[in-house]
Structures are given as structure tokens and as C-alpha cells.
Amino acid sequence: MKKGQEEIVGFIIIIIIMSVVALVFLGFALRSSDEAVGDSFQARSLLESMLEFTTDCAVGYIPAYGRISELIRECNENSASKCVDGRIICEALNQSLKEMLGKSIAFGEDRPVKGYKFEAKYELGENSDEVISLSSGICLGAVSGAEYPIPSDSGSIITRLEFCG
């Protein structure tokens, strides 16, 4: 091979190596901004408002209709407990949440929000027990979300709502 050709090959190899290094750095820089789920004001306001919703499940007597936050607490303390009308509290809670989220979030394949995920976990120290979890739509990665704690017994129930994009 002639000297000039050798030098050009060497030059091209240097460019390729620099491109690979630059791509690796770019990959790290972009990935780190994707991992964090932003706290969304909309998610937070929806979550807080949802927890105050009065359901049609009366706990103990009529008209002690429980709010979503109260039903979550009841469901955590005793998963077999029932509403006055005979429905299991956890099931009534699940149904109310599903209907409410379906009406309040416009999601779909061709929309910015592709799906959502709602969960409530009882946390005491390092232990964590799931109380309720529901999701709908396509949820490959959360775009934004919010958390709200509900005090319960000696620990707290952390409710979390995520919008998926």
C-alpha cells in the first residue's frame, strides 16, 4: 500500500474511534435524563383529589360512605372486610378507582399519555406490602407521576399514580 493511502486509512480509523467515543458519551448523557420520573403537578392534583372521592361503599353504617383513602386503609387492615351492602371493600375500591381513572385520564395509543399505573403499598420500615394495584393502556416506561402518603397503623400507605408515555 502506498504511504498516502496508509495515512488516509489511519485518519479514517481515528475519526471512527472518536465517533464511537462521542456516541457513548451522548448515550450516557441522554439516558440519565430518561431514568428519572418527573413529579407531575397534574398527577399530584389528580391523586390528591381522587383520594378525597366519596364512594358508594358505606363502612359500618349508612351514611358513613368511605372516601378512597379510607377504603385503602380498610383494605390494608382487613382484605375481607365488607361494605354495608355486602361488597368486599377492596373490590368496591378497585371498581371506583378504575372508573374514576378511566373518566379523568385521556389515554390511548395515539395520545401523549399511553396508559397509567396506580398502586398503594403499605410501608413499615423496610417492609412493603401491596394493598392495591391497577393499570391500563400501554405502560412501558413512566413519563411522570406523583406520590401521596396515607398514615395507617404504625406505618403509612404510599399511593402512587404514574402516567406512561
Partner 1 sequence: MKDLAVNSSRGQMKVQQMAFVLIAIVLFFALAGILLLSLQTSSLKNTAENLRDERALQAAREIATTPEFSWEIDECRSCIDLDKAFLLKERQGYKDFWELSLLRIEKIYPEGEGECTKTNYPECGKITIVEKEDIFNAKSSFVSLCRYESSEKYYKCELGKILIAGEGLQ
Cell of 42: 397534574
**β-bridge partners, 161:** 118, 146
Instruction: List the beta strands (DSSP E) in the chain.
Output: 38-39, 54-58, 65-67, 115-124, 127-137, 142-152, 155-164
Q: Is 31 in the site for partner 1 (CB under 8 A)?
A: no
Q: Pick the binder of partner 1 from 37, 84, 88, 100 (CB under 8 A).
A: 100
Q: Is 48 in the site for partner 1 (CB under 8 A)?
A: yes
Q: How many CB atoms lie within 10 A of CB 6?
A: 10
Binding positions for partner 1, 5-24, rule CB under 8 A: 7, 11, 14-15, 18, 22
User: Which segment (73-81, 95-103, 117-125, 127-135) binds partner 1 by CB under 8 A?
Assistant: 95-103
Asked whether 107 and 153 are in contact (CB, 8 A), the reply is no
Looking up cell 359500618 gives 60
Shortest distance, position 24 Cβ to partner 1, whole Å = 12
Q: Pick the binder of partner 1 from 1, 5, 28, 29 (CB under 8 A).
A: 29
Q: What is the dihedral of CA 109, 133, 89, 113, to 10 degrees?
A: -30
16 or 124: CB nearest partner 1? 16
Tell me which residues touch partner 1 (CB under 8 A).
7, 11, 14-15, 18, 22, 26, 29, 33, 41-42, 45-46, 48-50, 52-54, 62-65, 67, 99-100, 103-104
